[in-house]
Amino acid sequence: MVENSGIKERKEFVKELIKRLHAGEDPEKIKEEFKEFLGDVNPTEIARVEQELIKEGMPREEIQRLCDVHIAIFKESLEKAKTIAPQGHPVNILMEEHKKVLEFAGELKKVAGTVKEAGDFSDETIHHLNHIVKHLKDSESHYLREENVLFPYLEKHGITEPPAIMWIEHDKIRKIKKDIYKLVDERTKLTFNDFVKQLGEMAVVLAEMLSDHFYKENNVLFPTALNVIEKDEWTDVRKQFDEIGYCCFTPEPAKMVTEEVRTLTQEPKEEGVIKFETGTFSMDELEALLDTLPVDVTFIDKNDRVRYFSQSKDRIFVRAKAVIGRKVQKCHPQKSVHVVEKILNSFKNRKKDVAAFWINLNDRLILIRYFAVRNKDREYLGCLEVTQDITDIRKIEGERRLLDWKD
């Protein structure tokens, strides 16, 4: 599609302003210049401009670092274009959750102040603190839906860098939340004054971080998504949101799956037989078999694109259909992408065939393995990721033979 010359000129002007801002010019001067010569700019233009700047060599982290200043300059213009999505729409759900998470962050600040004034912990205060922590932990599904569904759809429409910047911020939010959880769990190991001081400081940081992040999403990312994602695609986005699940505090009407969504997202079953050298499967049999495996599997093709993932009953890591066709590098936080690249390159160069890692997740030991998939001529076809909970396997001792089995 040929870009309108007027739009192109506007984008170039905005790019020049942002470059000057990053070079250290006075934000107030740039803000006045913006008002005088441009007036208004829509969220999609800002998203595309930031993306182009990164492609031209400006570090993603630098864009993220000064993003708040960009938003401040364009604030009046952005707020003229209010984000409006009907109840039950994925964007509406995310925005409603933003309100609730901000409420919990505000409550955390109040609790920190209450504890300090009281000079001691009451049972009621501890209960309230645990209540807030529980809801902050449960908010993880909010970020998972964005990262695994919304971001891939934006990428399909050419919006790649703004989601990456938002993911960087997600990880920073996760970090401060984990610090808060640890502080609350280990409060008895600290003096009362140290605990109160750290809780107060962390609560302020979290509240400010969430407020800034949600503002960017509500006023730039979400309007951009509404502008570029097609109407029928939103039906699929909603279905995949439902599959991942919601926060315990997501408004109930938003969580309801309407009959319209069910009908529009039903897919016809493919028929036929798949023949292998050692046997055959029907499509239903093969899909059921893969979903029954006691491991989660994901296949990435030779071009580094996600082609398939199994849907076992108790998946360890969230997957959504929006990731199909997505570059696997986009499925990982920026801090670990270089390691993913190293593994894939070692497979492609035939230096390695396996890479294994294990982590502790929710008191379970998780084994994550990557296998190079090759044909009979040892040509690289792709990478298979296998994730398995091995907590109970590690406990096995002695023997249990077939004849020992009881129904």
**Per mean pLDDT, which range of 27-31, 32-36, 41-45, 280-284 is the poorest?**
32-36
What does the pLDDT read at residue 86? 87
Element (H, E) at 360: strand 354-361
Query: Bridge partners of 382?
Result: 301, 373
**What single string gives the DSSP state of each residue in 90-115?**
HHHHHHHHHHHHHHHHHHHHHHHHHH
Cβ–Cβ under 8 Å, residues 168 and 60: yes
Element (H, E) at 46: helix 43-55
What does the pLDDT read at residue 73? 57
Mean pLDDT of all residues belonging to the chain: 84
* Higher pLDDT pick, 33 / 191: 191
Cβ–Cβ under 8 Å, residues 237 and 90: yes
Average pLDDT (112-134) is: 85
> Nearest 5°: phi and psi at 139?
-70, -5
**Per mean pLDDT, which range of 62-66, 305-309, 336-340 is the poorest?**
62-66
What does the pLDDT read at residue 90? 95
> Domain 279-395's class?
alpha beta
> What band does 334 get if pLDDT is binned at 50, 70 and 90?
confident
> What band does 333 get if pLDDT is binned at 50, 70 and 90?
confident
> Nearest 5°: phi and psi at 39?
85, -70
Q: Assess whether pLDDT exceeds 90 at residue 58.
A: no
* Higher pLDDT pick, 231 / 61: 231
Give the C-alpha separation, 142 to 203, whole Å.
20
Instruction: Show the tokens assigned to 326.
Output: 């997505």
Cβ–Cβ under 8 Å, residues 207 and 108: yes
Tell me: domain 90-260, CATH 2.30.30.280, correct? no
Give the C-alpha separation, 148 to 306, whole Å.
12
What does the pLDDT read at residue 35? 56
Cβ–Cβ under 8 Å, residues 341 and 329: yes
Instruction: Show the tokens assigned to 311.
Output: 């849907």
What does the pLDDT read at residue 267? 47
Q: Does the fold of domain 279-395 match that of domain 90-260? A: no
The reported pTM is 0.72
Domain ranges of the chain: 5-80, 90-260, 279-395
Query: What are the pLDDT digits (tens) for 393-404?
Result: 999 999 988 888
Average pLDDT (20-45) is: 65
Instruction: Show the tokens assigned to 6.
Output: 């007027």
Q: Assess whether pLDDT exceeds 80 at residue 162.
A: yes
| Burial grade of 284 (CB within 10 A; 0-12, 13-18, 19 or more) | exposed
Candidates 140, 362, 133, 130; CA nearest to 246 is: 140
What does the pLDDT read at residue 81? 60
What does the pLDDT read at residue 55? 76
Q: Assess whether pLDDT exceeds 90 at residue 106.
A: yes
Average pLDDT (126-136) is: 93
Q: How many percent of the chain have pLDDT more than 90?
A: 54
What does the pLDDT read at residue 120? 74
What does the pLDDT read at residue 118? 75
What does the pLDDT read at residue 138? 95
Average pLDDT (1-19) is: 59
Q: Which residues contact 2 (CB under 8 A, 6 or more apart)?
A: none
What does the pLDDT read at residue 202? 96
